[in-house]
Amino acid sequence: MNYFSLNNREHLSNFEKAVVRGLAPDKGLYFPEKIEKLPQSFFDEIQALDKTEIGFEAIKNYVGEEIPESRLKDIIAETLDFDFPVVPVEDSVSSLELFHGPTLAFKDVGARFMAGSLGYFVEKGKIEKLTVLVATSGDTGGAVASGFLGVDGIDVVILYPKGKVSEIQEKQLTTLGENVTALEVEGAFDQCQDMVKKAFLDDEIQQKRQLTSANSINVARWLPQMFYYFLAYKQLKYKGQKLVFSVPSGNFGNICAGMLAREMGLPIDHFVASNNANNVVTRYLENGKYEPRGSVQTISNAMDVGSPSNFVRVLELFENQFGNLKKYLSSYSFDDLATKMAIKEVYDTTGYTMDPHGAVGYLGLKEFLKNHPQYYGVFLETAHPVKFLDTVEEVIAQKVPVPALIEGILDKKKKAHQINNYDELKSYLLK
């Protein structure tokens, strides 16, 4: 399979090059040249397939010959080595829980698949030693650190803003050791992000270390997110209804992977992009004007994105036809107060605890179902409520039990290097 750059269709790369580079040399996002429909027999027999078989059928064409079948299956098996339960919450409303991975974030799947793919390319000698450089506002860093831990030939360097990630998130970044280094930056997330961008453009660094990024612009992080939708479909028990998925969206990688699954024949009739106050897509669908702006801070902070990087891929899927896109995508935006009220109401009436991101997804779904009662709806729960403990416990006035996976980490000792500016990052990377 070849990938073209969304800035220039003539520029083609295979899967390996697209993964190693992240972005095309012209800074465009990579997009698969062909999207093939899966055979009807796959959907008819999906009940009988296990997670690895489903993942393999879904992604094999996008990987092509570059990873042999048996190795690809091993990577998928490791990537999906936890549960993705669909939990009924109300009549015709279920939650797809994506937070049962090692860092309790849905980003675990993309990070593990990317680590497995890059690990294979290094092992085969197709690439030299590689440094994954990433800035995090919280969840990405932990998932990437855990996904790449112990992968030979790959170093991971994570920048995070001092005092601005939760205690659990900080421990997930700073206690692993081995090939994972955490750099604690005196500043905000935007500064971490700027330093990372600058490092990618710095020839002196690039000569010394081959850098790659691990955010959802990378096809190896973006594509495996389609697994969720297939795995959910396998579990769903509904009859004669249409199917809608509501996705709490920030950079729009997750929802775009779902839409790709639909293109491949997965019978999803509609998507809802649920936004917090950062609602550039909600406004776009209302008035046809796409106007990125600076992000504002909310309680669903992993979605605080003012200029969603994957939205160009969504547009490409619909051949940049606004009318076509509107048929399959709705979008609603909710503020923090509405989000908190939803957490409380759902907890009080059903006993189900949502995190602030899942709650935005729930609200978007309910808004859509108001006018489309014939649908069966699934919202994606993208983080465990324990990761947003302060907000959730205050709203439901109950303790949220801490999973054993997390309890262990809280006693471990934090190890991070302090850096204050770009020069300090650079000298660390050149050392």
Ligand X SMILES: *Cc1c(COP(=O)(O)O)cnc(C)c1O
Looking at the annotation, which residues are catalytic?
107
Nearer to ligand X, 138 or 426 (CB): 138
For the bound state, the minimum distance from the C-beta of residue 418 to ligand X, rounded and expressed in Å, comes to 25
Tell me, what DSSP letter sits at residue 366? H
d(CA 280, CA 277): 9
CB of 95 to ligand X, least distance (A): 13
Q: Which stretch binds ligand X (CB under 6 A): 3-11, 29-37, 251-259, 322-330?
A: 251-259
Does residue number 248 form part of the binding site for ligand X (CB under 6 A)? yes
Q: Residue 383 Cβ, how far from ligand X at the closest point, in Å?
A: 3
Q: Using CB atoms within 10 A of its CB, is residue 294 exposed (0-12), middle (13-18) or buried (19+)?
A: exposed
Q: Is 135 in the site for ligand X (CB under 6 A)?
A: no
- β-pair partners for 329: 271
Tell whether residue 302 is a contact of ligand X (CB under 6 A): yes
Q: Is 97 in the site for ligand X (CB under 6 A)?
A: no
CB distance 366 to 349 below 8 Å: no
Residue 137 found at the interface with ligand X (CB under 6 A): no
Q: Per residue, what are the HEC states of 3-55? A: EEECCEEEEEEEHHHHHHHCCCCCCCCEEECCCCCCCHHHHHCHHHCCHHHHH
3-state secondary structure of 199: helix
For ligand X, the closer CB: 268 or 383: 383
* Residue 133 Cβ vs ligand X, minimum distance, rounded to whole Å: 18
Contacts of 201 (CB under 8 A, 6+ apart): none
CB of 138 to ligand X, least distance (A): 7
Q: Compute the distance between CA of residue 118 and CA of residue 101 in angstroms, rounded to an integer.
A: 20
Q: Is residue 252 within the footprint of ligand X (CB under 6 A)?
A: yes
Q: How far, in Å, CA of 37 to CA of 27, rounded?
A: 29
Cβ burial, residue 401 (10 Å; 0-12/13-18/19+): exposed
The smaller minimum CB distance to ligand X, of residues 175 and 382, is found at 382
| Contact call for residue 107 and ligand X (CB under 6 A) | yes
- Considering the rule CB under 6 A, would residue 216 count as an interface residue with ligand X? yes
173 is a site residue for ligand X (CB under 6 A) = no
103 binds ligand X (CB under 6 A): no
| Residue 141 binding ligand X, by CB under 6 A | no
Q: What share of the chain is helix, strand, coil (3-state, %, to 5)?
A: 50, 20, 35
Kindly determine how many residues on this chain lie close enough to bind ligand X according to the rule CB under 6 A: 16
Residue 105 touches ligand X, criterion: CB under 6 A: yes
Q: Where are the alpha helices (DSSP H) in 149-210?
A: 167-174, 189-200, 203-208
Task: Work out which of 117, 249, 278, 353 binds ligand X, going by CB under 6 A.
Answer: 249
Contacting range for ligand X; rule: CB under 6 A; set: 203-211, 244-252, 329-337, 413-421: 244-252
Q: Which of 383, 392, 419, 429 binds ligand X (CB under 6 A)?
A: 383
What is the contact mask toward ligand X in residues 4 to 43, using x (rule: CB under 6 A)?
----------------------------------------
Q: Which of residues 334-363 bind ligand X (CB under 6 A)?
A: 357
Question: b/e map of 130-153 (b: 16 or more CB within 10 Å)?
Answer: bbbbbbbbbbbbbbbbbbbbebee
Check residue 147 for interaction with ligand X (CB under 6 A).
no
User: Measuring CA to CA, which residue among 268, 132, 261 is closest to residue 199?
Assistant: 132
Q: DSSP secondary structure string, 99-117?
A: --STTSBTHHHHHHHHHHH
Please report, as residue ranges, which positions from 303 to 332 form the binding site for ligand X (by CB under 6 A).
303
Quote the least distance from Cβ 185 to ligand X, whole Å: 20
- Name the site residues for ligand X (rule: CB under 6 A): 105, 107, 139, 216, 248-254, 302-303, 357, 382-383
